[in-house]
């Protein structure tokens, strides 16, 4: 099929995955309010709504697969139809699907509102997919708000828990604050270049038609807004509290998919609209990357709460990803996509095990509580160990290969200091990841029989085993996915006219 964007109907086709997912979200919401509220399932029974939501995700995936074969002609002012968008759509759908699969027992056990939870999760995913697929700053802002507002509610979803409410309020206030930065940045960029369209902004800058003080100020504000969203270091203060207080499936979703979406939008805006200003924004990203790698890794060393430790680890992973943005070459961009996919799988998997260990009401979160888990639940503990090793970047896991690609990208742009910092902080991070594994396998349980009964029904086990298999597979045979990521970024690079490739200091 060929889309030419002269009629509105072609825009509908171009947004087919998003539309399918929105409709599924509404179906889930209505089914939920007509069935679950009438007779709620007994606490602990997995709700059939999860399967409905998974079918919706699957249908959106089919639509996204269909988009791979679609040709476009003519100017598509707002919609990007490139590999970068399709790859990031797969990423978000995988993140949402995994979160749904792994949250089956949690939601009914905590008596959360299941229909609302799943439909908000899917609507947040719609926002993310639009974030990855738009070339217009205003549509981007709307997409970010769609994602963020759903994420605020998901954070505060556990109404009986004070911490969840506090996390939701904090996230809402700081998220609104950062949205204001973003919006002001968009306004100034529009004032400076006369367009909110990324290729047109790039063209205006190339032609020298841009009014530069306004443009630079707008770019700085955009960078601040995105740095808030990806939790880069001077703007990361909200992250640990929000990730710790939110219900664990929400934490998994936020730390993986929401962060990935923010990175995808960050990269698209800066690579597609401001490639000619690389010299001005690269030092800022350089410092953000350096700080975001070092500081959270040092703080995570002293965390005894595993969920909070994983929150700091998530901030640190944001730092590794910023190295790719600072390098801004093709290898680094493909490495960023590869890293985001691996990170989504391993982080959601690790938090799912945290969900299992924490028991009824999120009370067992300390690292001591993991004592004896290994020998009473060998399968789950082995999987958790794989995720921890991958998060740390151990050879043989997907996390290792992802870091190698990022390092390669940094070296190609001669960012030696950042590359060395990345390697050093990775070694430091081994300590806090492996400490959990050490407690799990080498220490006795704090209470006798603490882990003999765990709540992990079949869908959850299937999801965990599948994720671990993906991580191991990508650790041994990474080249297939990496080639896919390169092709995806190639489509993205063509859109900016090859100005970017190999552009380094």
Partner 1 sequence: MSASYIPILMLFGVSIVNAVGMAVASHVLNPRRATSEKDMPYESGMIPLGDTRARFSVKFYMVAISFIIFDLEAIFLIPWAVEMRYLGWEGFIAMSIFVMVLVVGFVYEWQKGGLDWE
**In angstroms, what is the minimal distance from the CB of 23 to partner 1?**
9
Residue with tokens 């207080």: 245
**In angstroms, what is the minimal distance from the CB of 106 to partner 1?**
22
Q: What does the DSSP 8-state code read for residue 40?
A: P
Only segment of 29-37, 98-106, 181-189, 352-360 that touches partner 1 (CB under 8 A): 29-37
Q: How many CB atoms sit inside 10 A of residue 70's CB?
A: 15
Distance CA 100, CA 103 (A): 5
Q: Which of 14, 20, 21, 29 binds partner 1 (CB under 8 A)?
A: 29
Number of residues that bind partner 1 (CB under 8 A): 8
Q: Does 30 bind partner 1 (CB under 8 A)?
A: yes
Pick out residues in 248-277 that bind partner 1 (CB under 8 A). none
**E strands, 363-460, in order:** none
For residue 42, with 0-12 CB atoms within 10 Å meaning exposed, 13-18 middle and 19 or more buried, which class applies?
exposed
Only segment of 28-36, 286-294, 371-379, 486-494 that touches partner 1 (CB under 8 A): 28-36
x/- track of binding to partner 1 for residues 182-221 (CB under 8 A): -----------------------------x----------
Angle at 105 between CA 103 and CA 107, to 5 degrees: 65
x/- track of binding to partner 1 for residues 1-20 (CB under 8 A): -------x------------
When the beta carbons of 39 and 71 are compared against partner 1, the nearer one is: 39
Strand pairing partners for 136? 197
x/- track of binding to partner 1 for residues 35-74 (CB under 8 A): --x-------------------------------------
Q: Does 434 bind partner 1 (CB under 8 A)?
A: no
The full 3-state SS of 119-176, as one line of letters, equals HHHHHHHHHHHHHHHECEHHHHHHHHHHHHHHHHHHHCCCCCCHHHHHHHHHHHHHHH
When the beta carbons of 19 and 220 are compared against partner 1, the nearer one is: 19
DSSP labels, 58-88? HHHHHHHHHHTT-EE-S--SSB--SHHHHHH
Q: Which of 4, 34, 66, 212 binds partner 1 (CB under 8 A)?
A: 34
Q: Which of 13, 16, 26, 169 binds partner 1 (CB under 8 A)?
A: 26
**E strands, 136-218, in order:** none
**In angstroms, what is the minimal distance from the CB of 25 to partner 1?**
10
Write the CA distances from 74 to 5, 6, 78, 132, 416, integer angstroms: 7, 8, 12, 20, 42
Most distant CA pair in the chain, distance? 72
Only segment of 22-30, 147-155, 392-400, 488-496 that touches partner 1 (CB under 8 A): 22-30
Interface residue list for partner 1 (CB under 8 A) = 8, 26, 29-30, 33-34, 37, 211
């Amino acid at each position: 099929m060929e889309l030419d964007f002269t009629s509105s109907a072609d825009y509908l086709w171009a947004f087919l995955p998003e539309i399918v997912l929105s409709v599924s979200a509404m179906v889930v919401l209505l089914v939920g309010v007509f069935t679950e509220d009438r007779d709620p399932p007994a606490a602990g029974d997995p709700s059939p709504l999860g399967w409905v939501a998974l079918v919706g995700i699957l249908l959106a995936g089919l639509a996204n697969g269909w988009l791979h074969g679609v040709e476009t002609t003519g100017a598509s002012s707002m919609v990007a139809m490139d590999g970068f968008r399709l790859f990031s759509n797969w990423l978000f759908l995988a993140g949402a699907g995994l979160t749904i699969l792994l949250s089956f027992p949690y939601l009914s056990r905590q008596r959360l509102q299941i229909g609302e939870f799943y439909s908000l999760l899917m609507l947040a995913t719609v926002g993310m997919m639009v974030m990855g697929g738009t070339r217009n700053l205003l549509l981007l802002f709307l997409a970010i708000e769609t994602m963020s507002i759903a994420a605020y509610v998901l954070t505060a979803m556990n109404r009986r828990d004070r911490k969840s409410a506090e996390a939701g309020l904090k996230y809402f206030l700081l998220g609104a604050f950062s949205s204001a930065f973003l919006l002001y940045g968009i306004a100034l960029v529009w004032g400076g270049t006369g367009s909110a369209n990324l290729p047109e902004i790039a063209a205006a800058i190339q032609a020298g038609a841009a009014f530069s003080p306004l443009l630079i100020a707008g770019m700085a504000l955009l960078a601040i807004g995105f740095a808030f969203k990806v939790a880069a270091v001077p703007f990361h203060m909200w992250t640990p509290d929000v990730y710790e207080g939110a219900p664990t499936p929400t934490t998994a979703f936020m730390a993986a998919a929401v962060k990935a979406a923010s990175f995808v939008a960050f990269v698209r805006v800066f690579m597609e609209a401001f490639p000619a200003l690389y010299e001005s924004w690269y030092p800022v990203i350089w410092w953000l990357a350096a700080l975001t790698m070092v500081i959270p890794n040092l703080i995570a060393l002293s965390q005894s709460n595993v969920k909070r430790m994983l929150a700091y680890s998530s901030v640190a992973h944001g730092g590794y990803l910023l190295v790719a943005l600072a390098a801004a070459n093709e290898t680094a961009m493909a490495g960023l996509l590869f890293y985001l996919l691996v990170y989504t799988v391993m982080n959601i998997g690790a938090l799912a095990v945290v969900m299992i260990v924490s028991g009824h009401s999120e009370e067992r979160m300390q690292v001591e509580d993991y004592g004896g888990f290994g020998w009473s639940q060998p399968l789950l503990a082995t999987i958790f160990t794989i995720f921890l090793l991958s998060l740390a970047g151990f050879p043989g896991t997907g996390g290792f290969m992802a870091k190698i690609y990022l390092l390669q990208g940094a070296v190609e742009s001669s960012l030696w200091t950042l590359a060395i910092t990345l390697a050093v902080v990775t070694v430091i991070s081994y300590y806090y990841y492996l400490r959990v594994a050490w407690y799990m396998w080498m220490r006795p349980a704090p209470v006798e029989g603490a882990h003999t009964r765990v709540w992990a029904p079949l869908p959850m086990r299937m999801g965990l085993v599948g994720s671990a298999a993906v991580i191991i597979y990508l650790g041994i045979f990474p080249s297939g996915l990496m080639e896919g990521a390169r092709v995806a970024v190639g489509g993205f690079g063509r859109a900016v006219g090859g100005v970017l490739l190999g552009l380094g200091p």
